[in-house]
Every structure is written in structure tokens, then in C-alpha cells.
Homo-oligomer: A and B are copies of this chain.
């Protein structure tokens, strides 16, 4: 089973720009994460975009959905900002990508920052995608939710079942 990782950015991939003192996107860290995890899965990683998910609009979501549909793989992990992860999950579910297991994940702290949950979440998502039945899921903090049973609690920053 080959797994495709679609990279869309989010906090997971943010970096600190020394000159401006701001957070920004450079190259995705997913390769580094797979290396640190010594991941032996057959994985291909593709950067669709590198954006804060608050900046995702319908056109951006449509591109993500298109790539999820067109790629050969039946198992797809999508790294994504947490703020609108559930919206993108809905767009994917509505596209009815028959037979595909799609798991969205992200991080609360950029991988570049050392104390990140990114490595844990990616290990989690890559595991869920291998064993969950076809459908669209959100995997964060070790938990997994069907796309229509989850929301992000913006006060706590956590994902909860609804």
C-alpha cells in the first residue's frame, strides 16, 4: 500500500523568520518528520500549497480535493492548518472519493520549534490511514474522528467529537 501525503501548510510547516520576527512558510518539513520517525512506509509526498488554513478559500479547497481525487493512491494523508481542517474534510467527503481513506492532520506547534506535536500526529495519521475503512477523517492528538463528527474548539484549540 502506497500512501500519498498532500502537504497544504498550516502551523505544522511554519517557520520563524529571524529578520522580520514573523512566522512564514519555506519548504515543507514532512520529509524531515518522516526521516526522524525512520518511517519505512511506502510514502510519496506532494506539496499542493503552503498556506495558513485561515487563508484557504473554495478555490484552494477545490485544488486539494482535485489532487486527492486524481492521485493513484487509495490512502491519503493531508497535512493542514487546524483552523479550517474540518471544512476541508467536508469538501473532501462531499466529493465522494470512493474507496479512498483520507486522514487530515496538523500540529498545534510548528515542527521547526522543537516542542512540536507534529511528529506524534503524523505517526498517528499514517497509522490510521492504513487501517480505517474508506472515508474522510480528522486525526489530532492521538484521536480520530469521522469528518462529520468533529469540530475544533477555538477556546481550547482542541478537536472534539460532536
Interface residues of A (CB under 8 A from B): 11, 14, 16, 18-19, 21, 23, 33, 36-41, 52, 108-110, 112-117, 119-128, 130-132, 139-144, 154-159
In the complex, the answer to whether B40 meets A158 with C-beta atoms within 8 Å is yes
In the complex, the answer to whether B143 meets A109 with C-beta atoms within 8 Å is no
In the complex, the answer to whether B117 meets A127 with C-beta atoms within 8 Å is no
The one of B18, B113, B127, B159 that contacts A128, using a Cβ cutoff of 8 Å: B127
Q: In the complex, what residues of B have CB within 8 A of residue A140's CB?
A: 40
Q: List 28 A-B contacts (CB under 8 A).
A: A11-B21, A16-B113, A18-B108, A18-B109, A19-B154, A19-B157, A23-B23, A36-B115, A36-B120, A37-B117, A37-B121, A37-B142, A38-B108, A38-B158, A39-B120, A39-B142, A41-B142, A41-B143, A112-B113, A114-B114, A120-B120, A120-B122, A123-B142, A127-B139, A127-B142, A127-B144, A128-B131, A130-B144
The smallest C-beta distance from A137 to any residue of chain B, in angstroms, reads 10
Q: In the complex, what residues of B have CB within 8 A of residue A113's CB?
A: 16, 112-114
The smallest C-beta distance from A112 to any residue of chain B, in angstroms, reads 7
In the complex, the answer to whether B142 meets A126 with C-beta atoms within 8 Å is yes
Q: In the complex, what residues of B have CB within 8 A of residue A41's CB?
A: 141-143
In the complex, the answer to whether B21 meets A141 with C-beta atoms within 8 Å is no
